[in-house]
Amino acid sequence: MIRQSLKFRKTITVVCVIVLVVFLILILNENKSKEIENDDANYEIEDRNFLKVPKKVFIQKEQNMDFNNANDNTQKELQEAKARIEQLEKKLAILEGRIPQKYPEVSYLGHKERKRILVTGGAGFVGSHLVDVLMVQGHEVIVVDNFFTGRKRNIEHWFGHRNFEMIHHDIVNPLYVEADEIYHLASPASPPHYMQNPVKTIKTNTLGTINMLGLARRVGAKILIASTSEVYGDPMVHPQPESYWGHVNPIGPRACYDEGKRVAETLAYSYAKQENVTVRVARIFNTYGPRMHVSDGRVVSNFVMQALQNLTITVYGNGKQTRSFCYVSDLVDGLLALMASTYSLPYGGDGRRGRRRPAEAATRHRCVFTRGLTENYRLFQRRVISEDI
């Protein structure tokens, strides 16, 4: 009985253990099924979110793509518009070139009367006024200038005219053109300009003059050399006749210009004697008028600028020194008359033989006249005259 009871207990124990194990397995399976359901639910939610989010992103991407395409199209349209505008501008430029420009009234000359005239320094103060008169007379004019002191705006009103030609060239280098007459005016003429580069000034008045005289010899042209009253240096005779040889300083600060012009005259008459070149020499005095440089450094421009700015007018020395003044239009008339004449010696207008000389005035009187015009009543400032000035 005892053994049977023990067996029964063992059996019950085993059964209980098995039941417990089965129960635990069931519990574990339920937990796993719940987790799986939760996971499935989460997955469904994520899938839904995933399905929702890409739609928004896709819409945004589509909008961005549309915006980018719109920008690209706009840029293409702008580029096409720019290209069309450039084409239109080119066409307008061509059409404007075909439209005759308004020039000053020009006389008509026949083939025999019309001359081809070369003007060196034609963009400068005196040269530009000479070009205006020659163009109005109906001649063909060739202007040569390196624009050291010349300015394009002095002659821009002739650009494009059939009788006008502009050559940017330095006459220190040879020039090969055809001409009937040559006006050689190329050279800086005011002290600040020709003292800026003395060697260049000498080259222009020597090598440049040689090149122009050689050109005149080759083409058989008549040439007028623009000289200066500075060839007299610091004269001891007033007024100076052409027979006066001068009182010069060959190594002074202004010698680069003075001696350069003296050599230019010597070269001109050497070519006349040796090569039979027809030469004219004009000794130009103080010239004033429109298109003068503001910083010309000479008496008229200095007085006018100081008076206009209400500054003290500067008078060098005691103010009793005299200067011969000539208006630019009068000078141009004189150059044209000298070129057309048979007078071959240097001409400076000394008042003899009925010739007209430039107006001569004392420096102080000129200063008073300038102050009166500008209503400037400030005092004079006197400065000591420096060497060779």
Q: Sort 219 into a burial class: Cβ within 10 Å, 0-12 / 13-18 / 19+.
A: middle
Strands (DSSP E) contained in 85-184 are 116-120, 140-145, 164-168, 181-184
Residue 108 lies in a domain: no
Q: Are residues 35 and 173 in the same domain?
A: no
**Alpha helices (runs of H) in the chain, residue ranges in sequence order:** 2-98, 125-137, 191-194, 198-219, 255-275, 299-308, 328-340, 363-374
Q: What's the pLDDT score for residue 269?
A: 96
Q: What's the pLDDT score for residue 352?
A: 40
Q: How many domains is the chain partitioned into structurally?
A: 2
Q: Are residues 205 and 313 in the same domain?
A: yes
CA 95 from centre of chain: 26
Q: Which residues are catalytic?
A: 257
Low-confidence ranges of the chain (pLDDT < 70): 1-10, 30-68, 97-101, 317, 319, 349-389
Residue 389 lies in a domain: no
Q: Are residues 75 and 213 in the same domain?
A: no
What's the token pair of residue 219?
A: 């083409």
Q: Are residues 145 and 16 in the same domain?
A: no
List, for residues 229-244, the tens digit of each pLDDT value.
Answer: 888 887 777 777 777 8
Q: Are residues 302 and 153 in the same domain?
A: yes
Query: Do 256 and 202 contact (CB within 8 A), yes or no?
Result: yes
The CB-based long-range contact list for 299-307 (8 Å cut-off, 24+ gap) reads 299/323, 299/363, 299/366, 300/325, 300/366, 303/366, 303/367, 303/370, 304/370, 304/374, 307/370, 307/371, 307/373, 307/374, 307/376
Q: Which residues contact 328 (CB under 8 A, 6 or more apart)?
A: 125, 126, 129, 287, 288, 289, 290, 291
The reported pTM is: 0.68
Final residue of a structural domain among 99, 132, 152: 99
Q: Are residues 221 and 86 in the same domain?
A: no
Range(s) of the domain holding residue 56: 1-99
Q: Is the dihedral of CA 290, 295, 299, 302 positive or negative?
A: positive
Q: Sort 120 into a burial class: Cβ within 10 Å, 0-12 / 13-18 / 19+.
A: buried
Residue 104 lies in a domain: no
